[in-house]
C-alpha cells in the first residue's frame, strides 16, 4: 500500500536556495533511521549541512546519489515499511516527479521575498517570514561581513512559532553601502528606527558575532523594545577578537586567501563550499563594500581587541538571555560566556566554530525555540 511510502525531499534552507548537491548518505538502504538522526549531507551555496531524518522510517530507495544536484523539493530518497514491494516504490518514484513539477510552479508564487525600505536615509534589505502573530517577532542580526542569508538554516524553522525578520546591516548584503560611523551605537539606533518603520514595538532579538554586540546595545539602551535576547558567538562581551581573521576578511582578494580565512569560521573546514567563497569574493568586489568593512572594523575593533565602544555588559540587563557558543570558535573565544550573568541560559557546543547556527543548525534551532517559548 502506497500510504506507507514517504518521500524524503531536498530541503529549502533559506531564500536563495534553489537546489542542493548530495555529498554523502549517512544511512544505508534497508536501514531504519530514527527521527533526528543524521541522514544525508547536502552541499548548499553556503556550507555543507547534515539533513536529519524528519521522521522515523526505513530507507528503501536512494534516488539522489552523491554529486547529484537536486532542486528544492526534488526527491532524494524513499522510505517505506519493509513489506512494501519494490514495484510499489518504483511506481511512487514515477508518480512523484509528475506531481513535483506542478507543485514547484505553485510554490514559486507564494515564496517570501526580501524587501528594501529606507530607514533614516539608509536603504535596508530585510526578509520577513510570517509566523504566529500572537508571539513577539524575532529579529535576527548577522555579523561582520555576513548578511541575512547567514540564517538560511534557521529562519524558516523558527518561523513555525513566530514571525522571524532577518535584516542586512548597512554595508552588508542588499543594504546601503554608506554606513556612517560604523560603530555599534549607530547600528543599534538604526535597527530601532527599522523596528519603528516596520511597526514592531517589542521584539526578541537574536544576534551573531558583531550582530550580538548590536543586540546587546539595543537591549541596554532601549530595554522596552526587547523581550528576550539570543546571543550566538557574540561580540561585545570581552576584549579578545581574532584580528588576523578580520584583516584577512577585509584585505584578502584571492580565492586561496579567502578560503583560508573562511575556514577559520568553522570547526570543520570541509563545510566551506566553493560557492560560499565565491559569494564572499563577489560581495567584496561591489563598489563601497571594502571601504565599509574597513570603517566598521576601525570603529569596532583594534587589532586583536574589541574597542570599549563595542562592549556592553550583559550582567545588568533585565532581559532573559540565551547564549550559544562553539567550543572551537577561533574568532571570539567561548570564554566570553563568563561575562554573562548567572541567570543566562548558556550553551557551549562541542566541535563547533564561530557559526553555530549554521554548523549545528538543528541543535541551535531547538535551543532558540525552547528559550522563546518558555513561560
Partner 1 sequence: MTEKSYREAISEALSGEMRRDPTVIIMGEDIAGGAGAPGEDDAWGGVLGVTKGLVGEFGRERVLDTPLTESAYIGAAAGAAATGLRPVAELMFVDFMGVCFDQIFNQAAKFRYMFGGKAVTPMVIRTMYGAGFRAASQHSQCLYPIFTHIPGLKVALPSSPYEAKGLLIEAIRDDDPVVFFEHKALYDQTEDVPDEAYTIPFGEANLTREGDDVTIVAFGRMVQFANQAADAVAGEGISCTVIDPRTTSPFDWETVLDCVEETGRLVVVDEASPRCGMATDVAGRVAQEAFDSLKAPIKLVTPPHTPVPFAPNLEDLYIPNPDQVADAVRAVAKV
Neighbours of 156 (CB within 10 A): 20
Judged by beta carbon, residue 253 or residue 270, the one nearer partner 1 is 253
Classify burial at 94, counting beta carbons within 10 Å of its beta carbon; exposed 0-12, middle 13-18, buried 19 or more. Answer: exposed
**Least gap, CB of 285 to partner 1 (angstroms):** 4
**Least gap, CB of 210 to partner 1 (angstroms):** 22
Site string for partner 1, 240-269 (x = CB under 8 A): -------------xxxx-------------
Classify burial at 121, counting beta carbons within 10 Å of its beta carbon; exposed 0-12, middle 13-18, buried 19 or more. Answer: exposed
**Residue choice 287, 308, 342, 375 for contact with partner 1 (CB under 8 A):** 287
Judged by beta carbon, residue 176 or residue 295, the one nearer partner 1 is 176
Neighbours of 174 (CB within 10 A): 16
User: Quick one: which segment of 48-56, 57-65, 222-230, 285-293 binds partner 1 (CB under 8 A)?
Assistant: 285-293
8-67: contacts with partner 1 (CB under 8 A): 67
Instruction: Report d(CA 216, CA 236) in Å as an integer.
Output: 8
Judged by beta carbon, residue 1 or residue 286, the one nearer partner 1 is 286
**Least gap, CB of 286 to partner 1 (angstroms):** 5
Site string for partner 1, 165-184 (x = CB under 8 A): ------------x-------
Decide: 355 and 46 in contact? Cβ < 8 Å. Answer: no
- Among 370, 373, 52, 352, smallest CA distance to 232 is for 352
Size of the site for partner 1 (CB under 8 A): 11
Judged by beta carbon, residue 174 or residue 320, the one nearer partner 1 is 174
**Least gap, CB of 70 to partner 1 (angstroms):** 17
DSSP per-residue string spanning 291-336: HHHHHHHHHHEETTEE-GGG----TT--S-EEEEEETT-SSS-GGG
Helix (H) or strand (E) holding 198: none
User: Quick one: which segment of 81-89, 281-289, 352-360, 364-372 binds partner 1 (CB under 8 A)?
Assistant: 281-289
**Residue choice 121, 286, 303, 374 for contact with partner 1 (CB under 8 A):** 286
**Least gap, CB of 287 to partner 1 (angstroms):** 4
3-class secondary structure, 231 = strand
Judged by beta carbon, residue 120 or residue 286, the one nearer partner 1 is 286
Judged by beta carbon, residue 285 or residue 374, the one nearer partner 1 is 285
b/e per residue, 208-226, with b = 16+ CB within 10 A?
bbbbbbbbbbbbbeeeebb
**Least gap, CB of 365 to partner 1 (angstroms):** 28
Give the three cell numbers for residue 214: 548590536
Q: Is 111 in the site for partner 1 (CB under 8 A)?
A: no
3-class secondary structure, 83 = coil
Q: Is 282 in the site for partner 1 (CB under 8 A)?
A: yes
User: Quick one: which segment of 28-36, 83-91, 228-236, 278-286 binds partner 1 (CB under 8 A)?
Assistant: 278-286
298-337: contacts with partner 1 (CB under 8 A): none
Radius of gyration of the chain (CA): 21
65-94: contacts with partner 1 (CB under 8 A): 67
Q: Which residues contact 329 (CB under 8 A, 6 or more apart)?
A: 233, 352, 353, 354
Judged by beta carbon, residue 125 or residue 228, the one nearer partner 1 is 125
User: How many CA atoms, within 13 angstroms, populate the side-chain half-sphere of residue 280?
Assistant: 28
Q: Which residues contact partner 1 (rule: CB under 8 A)? A: 67, 177, 253-256, 274, 282, 285-287
Amino acid at each position: 500500500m502506497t500510504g506507507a511510502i514517504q518521500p524524503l525531499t531536498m530541503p529549502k534552507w533559506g531564500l536563495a536556495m534553489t537546489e542542493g548537491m548530495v555529498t554523502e548518505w549517512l544511512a544505508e538502504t534497508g536501514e531504519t533511521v530514527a527521527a533526528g538522526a543524521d541522514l544525508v549531507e547536502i552541499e548548499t551555496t553556503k556550507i555543507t549541512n547534515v539533513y536529519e531524518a524528519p521522521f522515523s522510517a526505513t530507507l528503501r530507495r536512494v534516488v539522489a546519489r552523491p554529486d547529484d544536484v537536486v532542486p528544492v523539493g526534488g526527491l532524494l530518497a524513499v522510505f517505506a515499511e519493509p513489506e512494501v514491494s519494490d514495484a510499489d516504490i518504483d511506481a511512487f518514484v514515477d508518480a512523484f516527479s509528475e506531481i513535483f513539477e506542478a507543485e514547484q510552479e505553485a510554490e514559486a508564487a507564494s515564496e517570501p521575498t526580501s524587501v528594501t525600505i529606507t530607514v533614516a536615509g539608509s536603504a535596508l534589505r530585510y526578509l520577513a517570514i510570517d509566523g504566529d502573530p500572537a508571539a513577539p517577532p524575532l529579529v535576527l542580526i548577522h555579523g561582520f561581513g555576513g548578511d541575512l542569508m547567514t540564517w538560511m538554516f534557521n529562519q524558516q524553522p523558527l518561523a513555525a512559532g513566530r514571525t522571524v525578520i532577518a535584516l542586512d546591516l548597512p554595508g552588508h548584503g542588499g543594504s546601503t553601502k554608506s554606513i556612517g560611523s560604523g560603530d555599534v551605537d549607530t547600528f543599534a539606533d538604526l535597527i530601532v528606527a527599522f523596528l519603528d518603520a516596520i511597526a514592531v514595538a517589542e521584539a526578541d532579538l537574536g544576534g551573531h558575532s558583531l550582530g550580538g554586540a548590536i543586540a546587546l546595545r539595543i537591549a541596554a539602551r532601549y530595554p522596552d523594545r526587547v523581550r528576550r535576547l539570543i546571543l550566538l558567538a557574540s561580540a561585545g562581551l570581552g576584549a579578545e577578537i581574532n584580528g588576523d581573521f578580520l584583516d584577512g576578511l577585509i584585505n584578502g582578494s584571492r580565492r586561496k586567501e579567502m578560503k583560508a580565512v573562511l575556514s577559520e569560521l568553522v570547526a570543520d573546514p570541509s563545510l566551506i563550499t566553493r560557492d560560499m567563497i565565491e559569494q564572499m569574493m563577489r560581495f567584496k568586489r561591489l563598489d563601497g563594500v571594502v571601504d565599509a568593512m574597513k570603517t566598521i572594523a576601525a570603529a569596532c575593533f583594534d587589532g586583536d581587541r574589541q574597542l570599549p565602544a563595542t562592549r556592553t555588559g550583559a550582567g545588568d540587563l533585565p532581559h532573559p538571555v540565551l547564549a550559544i557558543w562553539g567550543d572551537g570558535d577561533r574568532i571570539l573565544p567561548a570564554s566570553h560566556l563568563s561575562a554573562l550573568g548567572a541567570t543566562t541560559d548558556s550553551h557551549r557546543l562541542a566541535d563547533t566554530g564561530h557559526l553555530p547556527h549554521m554548523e549545528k543548525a538543528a541543535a541551535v534551532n531547538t535551543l532558540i525555540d525552547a528559550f522563546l517559548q518558555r513561560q
